Chains A and B, each alone.
Chain A
């Protein structure tokens, strides 16, 4: 949806390197989310944020950390990338708890 951008859009990295994905929104939405999408697993929540500096874990948070220092930016960091983290990563934002709007995605390949 308009107003949500993700960078980079594509990235290839090597096993063991740290990687940071950025989500930027211009909607002033309070809630922000990181998901990964994999064949056979659908969309799974990694972490979410319910305000600046307020974050919590989702169902697949191991190996990932997040930070949100301002309303518009939500960063996802893979501390030491592994091949199992090869995926498409989506950021989403929401003005309230019960609606979400998605960014265009980042395709990450870990070799």
Chain B
């Protein structure tokens, strides 16, 4: 059974810092990996999708990497802003459509 762990569970940084969020999964037979953010009381917003054949994806200040052999993905946020404050979730796809496994989440707070 796929298990996805995110470290740290919570993180507080001052504005302007670069930061890395980590995602580890137990089953390396993973297809795509997707990063989401969720604001309190809101839905999940897709940030980046790394397809199976790719090693990384970039969008603006965000860069996500995927290393299937080591069972890890990282989300790098450059020059953090207060608007980046949210919970970040990674999710890995294995097997059939029903097998999307979400990570435990990292709650990020960016302070002024």
Interface residues of A (CB under 8 A from B): 1, 31, 33, 42-43, 45, 48, 50, 56, 58-59, 90, 92, 94, 97-105
Contact = CB atoms under 8 A, between A and B. Distances in A.
Contacts of A58: 98
Contacts of B105: 42
A103 B43 contact: yes
Interface residues of B, number: 21
B2 interface: no
Contact of B93 (A1, A33, A98): A98
B46 A31 contact: no
A97 B96 contact: yes
B32 A98 contact: yes
Contacts of B109: none
A1 B100 contact: no
Contact of B43 (A33, A48, A99, A104): A104
B44 interface: yes
B36 interface: yes
B46 A102 contact: yes
A19 to B, nearest CB: 19
B98 A102 contact: no
Given A42-B104, A45-B100, A100 B34 contact: yes
Contacts of B42: 104-105
